Amino acid sequence: MAPKRPKGAGALPKNGPFDGPKTVESPAPKPPVSDALYAALDLGTNSCRMLIAQPKGSQFHVIDSFSKSVQLGAGLESTGKLSRASMARTIQALRICQQKLKRHKVKHMRLVATEACRRAGNGAGFMRQITRETGLTLDIIKPEEEARLAVISCAPLVSKETEQLLVVDIGGGSTELVWIDLCAVPSQERPKAIMRLHAGFHNANNKHAAAKVVDWISVPLGVATLRDHFDDVEDDAARFALMSWYFEEHLSEFAPYKDEQTRAGFQIVGTSGTVTTVAASHLGLKRYDRNKVDGLRMSSDEIDKVIRMYLKLGPTGRRRDPRIGQDRQALIMSGAAILQALLRCWPTDQLSVADRGLREGLLYAQMSADGVLEDGVY
C-alpha cells in the first residue's frame, strides 16, 4: 500500500567514518565566544548523531561531533513500540551528547527525532523519558520538515545548469524525496533558491525567483525497516530483488512518474550512509575520505557495478569488506535496493553524492533564522 502523501505539492571534518557502531568524537579547543555555538542532533531509526558548530562567514565550522549506532528501531516493525533495550542504548548515547553540550556551553540548539519515534506507540513517552533522564528536549519532527532540512543541506551540490532536481534522503526508517523545479530561477541563483526553502516548501521569499517544490513524499521505508520487511527471505539475491520491487511500488503515486521527463537539466542528489558507502566502494577507498566522496557524480552503470559486487560478495564477504563497515553491512543491501529502484524510475543516469544531511540542515536553518551567516551558500 502506497504511503499517504500530503496534499499539494557545511563544513564537516575532512575525514569521517562510515555510519558504523563506533562513537565518533572530535575533541577541539573551546571557541572564544561560546554564545556563537550551535548544535544539531538527529535521533534516527538506526543512529544518534550530533554536530556542534560555529558560524563562519556564509559557512559554519564544526567544533565537535558525535555519531553512534543505537538501533532505536530494532523490533519496531513487529511490535509497534520502541524496545527497552533500544531505548536504554539511546539514553546512554544522549547522555554523552548532553555532556558535550554542557562542556561547550551551547545555548542555541535543535534536537530532533524522526521516523522511529513518529511511528512508535511509545515514541512521545520516550521523549519525556529522555528529558527526565538527560535534561535534553527532543522534538519529533514531521516528514515535511525532515525533507526540507535534507534539501537545504544539499544546496551547495546543485549544479547551476540544473532545471529539475530530485533530492533523496535514505534514512533508517523512512526515505524522503523532493522534486524541485528551478526553471524560473536564474542559473547563478539556483543554489541560493534551494537554501531559501528553509522557511517552508510554500513560503519562499517573494523578492527572489523561487524554487518550486512540485511534489514531495515520505516513504515509510528506510534501510532498517525495508530490511525487516524481508528478513525471512533466505536467498540473498531474491531478498534484494524483492526489496527493490517493494520500494518501487511505494513510489507509484509520486507525481514525477505521471509524465515523461527529459534527461537534460535533470539532477538527482542522494544523501545517506548508503550513498556514501556505495561511492567509497566505487572509488576503492581503503580509508574513507569525505573530500573525495562529497560532491562525487556516479553513473547508473557505476552504481550497478558496485551493487553486483555486493551481491557477489554475499553476506559473509560484505561483513569482511572494510569499505562497508561492520554495522553498515547489515543495511547496505536494503539501501542499495532503494537506490536501484530510484535510478530505474527517474530520467537520469547520474547521481550526485552528498555527505551531508539532516544535521547540516538543522544548523543552517538555525543560523539563517538568527541572521548570523553572510549571504551565500555554505
Q: Which helix (H) or strand (E) holds 162?
A: none
Cell (9 digits) for 355? 555527505
- One-letter amino acid at 194 equals I
Length of the chain: 378
Predicted confidence at residue 35, as pLDDT, reads 59
Residue pair 77/7 in contact by the 8 Å Cβ criterion: no
Rounded to whole angstroms, how far apart are CA atoms 61 and 372? 13
Grid coordinates belonging to 309: 559486487
* H-only helix segments in 222-272: 223-229, 236-249
| Helix, strand, or coil (residue 269) | strand
**What φ, ψ does residue 83 adopt, rounded to 5°?**
-80, 160
Handedness of CA 248, 253, 259, 263 (dihedral sign): negative
Query: Residues 182-218: pLDDT tens digits?
Result: 999 998 888 888 888 877 776 545 556 688 888 899 9
What pLDDT is recorded for position 247?
Answer: 95
Reported as a single tens digit per residue, the pLDDT across 94-134 is 999 999 999 999 999 999 999 999 999 999 999 999 999 99
DSSP three-state, residue 39: strand
User: pTM of the entire structure?
Assistant: 0.81
Those residues whose C-beta lies under 8 Å from the C-beta of residue 274, and which sit 6 or more positions away, are: 170, 223, 331, 332, 335, 336, 338, 339
| Residue-level pLDDT at 350 | 86
Q: Hey, what domains does the chain have and what are their CATH numbers?
A: 34-144 (3.30.420.40), 146-354 (3.30.420.150)
Per-block mean pLDDT, blocks of 10 residues, the chain (378 long):
42 40 45 71 95 90 94 91 97 98 96 95 97 97 91 89 92 92 89 80 61 90 93 94 95 65 78 93 90 93 95 93 82 95 82 93 90 72
Backbone angles phi, psi at 43, to 5 degrees: -100, 105
> Rounded distance, CA 41 to CA 138, Å?
9
Contact 155, 195 (CB under 8 A): yes
How far is it, in rounded angstroms, from Cα 27 to Cα 360? 19
Give SS3 for 138. coil
Nearest to 147 by CA among 174, 181, 182, 172: 174
The DSSP string of 274-314 is HHHHHHHHHHT-SS--HHHHTT-EEEHHHHHHHHHHHHHHH
